[in-house]
Amino acid sequence: MATNFENSWQALFTPEGAASYFTGEYPKIQLVFDKYNDVNSLWLAELSRLIYRKNSAIRTKILNSFQLQETRFFSHSNTQCAVIEAPTFAVLVFRGSHEFQDWLSNLGTVLTKWPKGGMVHWGFKEALEKVWADVANYLDTLHVPIFYTGHSLGAALAVLAASRRPPNALYTFGSPRVGNSQFAQSLATVNAYRIVNHRDAVTSVPPNGLFDFSHIGELHYITSDNRMLVNPSDEIIEIDRDSSTVKNIGNNRRWFDPPEHLSDHSPVNYVAHLERLLFSKQLIV
């Protein structure tokens, strides 16, 4: 059994409505941090999808079935995140936002100084600061390796958190650019892995020509035919995105579904691709 691709508006704007999670026989999370790990990437993508669930009882039931426990949930205004623990590791996962496009359109051109170096998106900084003091205090109590992760706005907040307090590894899904090149350079020593699904438009904003916005981390790009390329050039990505090749999976698109550059941002489609990459052993490294 595998997670189905969903190209609907509902999957894009209400990911908390998912009916099932962890549908495959997932191998156990591996304590590998200094290189990309396809098992860990899949788990963290699914946790980034599960955190959209607003019913804590449902999250708890699902996590407990995998010997995971949500030990703390932090919420202030539009910022939410949780710490999920197992005996040998922990995960700090940030929730994305339904108002994410508003964050970009209203605040995308506003940069502010960042204490760890460089400039960052003002709205992202303000969102993290709402919960960071409480999160940092709780992280002080942990004595196991920790992953940071998130999807969309959650990915942006995970990047800022990694700057404030570096994790053992950072995995982001559908992340926008968070700060300028100086900020990106300040994270050069963090084990950061940035997963991008084909035409996901959010990963291209704010434009890199706008106030020097830059991505951070090692890029893992999912192609139109479900391969993964590591740090491909901009030219290779452009060719793939412009390709007329029809996806050989998940191409049950209807005329009233969102365009591909939006549906590729849906968290369920990240999970569906990563499942197939892992279980088919088609990962290119």
The number of CA neighbours under 13 Å toward the Cβ of 149 is: 26
Its pTM stands at: 0.92
Sign of the torsion formed by the C-alpha atoms of 142, 72, 183 and 126: negative
Domains and CATH numbers, the chain: 9-14+30-280 (3.40.50.1820)
Calculate helix-pair angle for 100-107, 122-139, nearest 10 degrees. 120
54: number of Cβ within 10 Å: 11
Asked whether 147 and 68 are in contact (CB, 8 A), the reply is no
- What are the pLDDT tens digits along the chain (285 aa)? 588 888 888 888 888 888 788 887 899 999 999 999 999 999 999 999 999 999 999 999 999 999 999 999 999 988 999 999 999 999 999 999 866 555 554 445 578 999 999 999 998 999 999 999 999 999 999 999 999 999 999 999 999 999 999 999 999 999 999 999 999 999 999 999 999 999 999 999 888 776 889 999 999 999 988 899 999 998 999 999 887 544 444 456 665 677 888 899 999 999 999 999 998 863 444
The stretches of 1-142 forming alpha helices (DSSP H) are 9-13, 38-50, 56-64, 100-107, 122-139
